[in-house]
């Protein structure tokens, strides 16, 4: 299982699928993952015979626009992939949560790895899409052109938590928050309300540059189907113990129950090693 898909990973998925399935006709739709489909009306059969108008991203969500005023809204959660195959699945693939069989013989599969079933799909009327709470609660997009951060992040909360809060700014998760804060040279615990104008601009540049750089990397590195394990160009995240690519200091980490924040003590915290917060709820 690869890392959790965030804005760059979902963006490249949307872009590459859009290039390959735009205008394709849906022959049938199945949801073998009993828990994945979160809506009842319209029924999945409403997709039969419809045309895929495009694939796009909003925050960490994927949206398939479909003819007949329909839209499929999906969240890959921690271990989902939306993959296009030239042939249909043979013996039933246990990772499949949603299968869209295309009239030309190809198949679009939402697959999920690991034991947890948390990826989800909603089939909505196109007019109901933006009002769905998954989208209506999202903050502005982190990329390509987020608003100035001075007001957006003006809260007495740690930057690492603010950047991951989808209601504050949409698209960033644990992996890219580590990378962005390393790029901008901020402590993960620096408070949003402590940013001055120059620092807010520096952080914004790091967000746009880091996420944009990752997307450019994927454009070069990825071919369809989107691989199970994405080649994420990470420099800091999950690399604690390795040398900082910028200064050579040993990268450090703060451990939580279910995740880890990695950082460079020299570049980001004036040499201070942050306390292990495994039992703390500070960043929740």
Instruction: Identify which of residues 51 and 249 has a Cβ nearer to Zn ion in the complex.
Output: 249
- Taking the least distance from each CB to Zn ion, the nearer of 121 and 267 is 267
Residue 267 DSSP class = H
Q: How far is the CB of 249 from Zn ion (least distance, A)?
A: 5
- 224 vs 93: CA distance, rounded Å: 18
Please, which residue, 108 or 159, has the CB nearer to Zn ion?
159
Q: Which residue lies nearer to Zn ion by CB, 166 or 249? A: 249
State in angstroms the smallest separation of the CB of 180 from Zn ion. 15
Which residue number, 231 or 245, has a Cβ lying nearer to Zn ion?
A: 245
| Segment 184 to 203, residues that bind Zn ion, using CB under 5 A | none
Q: In the complex, what is the shortest distance from the CB of residue 244 to Zn ion, in angstroms, rounded to a whole number?
A: 3
Could you tell me if 126 and 65 are in contact, meaning their C-beta atoms sit under 8 angstroms apart? Answer: yes
Q: Give me the least distance between CB of 234 and Zn ion, in Å please.
A: 15
Closer to Zn ion by CB, 147 or 243: give it: 243
Q: Which of residues 221-280 bind Zn ion (CB under 5 A)?
A: 244, 246-247, 249, 264, 266-267
Smallest gap, in angstroms, from Cβ of residue 247 to Zn ion? 3
User: Minimum distance from CB of 271 to Zn ion (Å)?
Assistant: 10
Q: Is residue 98 a contact partner of residue 29, using CB atoms and an 8 Å limit?
A: yes
Contact 211, 142 (CB under 8 A): yes
| 19, 55 Cβ separation under 8 angstroms | no
Alpha-carbon span 45 to 66, nearest angstrom? 13
CB of 2 to Zn ion, least distance (A): 25
- Apex 120 CA angle, 167 and 42, nearest 5: 105
* Residues that contact Zn ion, how many (by CB under 5 A): 7
Nearest residue to Zn ion, scored by beta-carbon proximity? 244
Q: How far is the CB of 20 from Zn ion (least distance, A)?
A: 40
d(CA 26, CA 88): 13
Q: Which is nearer to Zn ion, 247 or 282 (CB)?
A: 247
Rounded to 10 deg, the angle between the 197-221 and 7-21 helix axes is 40
Question: What is the number of helices (H) and of strands (E) in the chain?
Answer: 7, 10
Four-point Cα dihedral 282, 174, 59, 71, nearest 10: -110
DSSP single-letter state for residue 13: H
61-66 vs 52-58, strand pairing mode: antiparallel
Structure tokens at 269: 């915290």
Closest to Zn ion by CB, 211 or 267: 267
Phi, psi of 28 (to 5 degrees): -155, 160
Interaction residues for Zn ion, span 64-83 (CB under 5 A):
none
Which residues of the shown chain bind Zn ion in the complex (CB under 5 A)? Answer: 244, 246-247, 249, 264, 266-267
């Amino acid at each position: 299982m690869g890392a959790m898909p965030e804005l760059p990973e979902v963006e490249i998925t949307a872009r590459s699928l859009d290039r390959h399935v735009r205008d394709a006709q849906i022959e049938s739709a199945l949801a073998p993952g009993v828990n994945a489909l979160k809506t009842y009306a319209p029924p999945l059969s409403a997709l039969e015979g419809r045309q895929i108008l495009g694939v796009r991203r909003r925050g960490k969500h994927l949206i398939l626009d479909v003819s007949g005023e329909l839209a499929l809204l999906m969240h890959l959660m921690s271990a989902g992939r939306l993959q296009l195959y030239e042939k249909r699945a043979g013996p039933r693939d246990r990772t499949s949560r949603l299968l869209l069989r295309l009239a030309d013989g190809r198949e679009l599969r939402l697959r999920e790895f690991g034991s947890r079933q948390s990826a989800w799909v909603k089939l909505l009327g196109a007019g109901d899409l933006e009002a769905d709470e998954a989208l209506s609660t999202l903050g502005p997009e982190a990329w390509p052109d987020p608003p100035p951060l001075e007001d957006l992040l003006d809260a007495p909360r740690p930057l690492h938590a603010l950047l991951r809060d989808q209601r504050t700014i949409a698209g960033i998760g644990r992996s890219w928050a580590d990378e962005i804060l390393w790029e901008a040279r901020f402590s993960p615990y620096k408070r949003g309300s402590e940013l001055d104008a120059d620092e807010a601009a520096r952080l914004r540049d790091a967000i746009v540059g880091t996420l944009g750089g990752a997307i450019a990397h994927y454009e070069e590195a990825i071919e369809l189907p989107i691989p199970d394990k994405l080649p994420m160009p990470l420099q800091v995240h999950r690399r604690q113990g390795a040398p900082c690519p910028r200064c050579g200091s040993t990268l450090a980490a703060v451990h939580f129950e279910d995740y880890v924040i990695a950082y460079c003590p020299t570049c980001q915290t004036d040499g201070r090693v942050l306390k292990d917060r495994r039992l703390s709820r500070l960043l929740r």
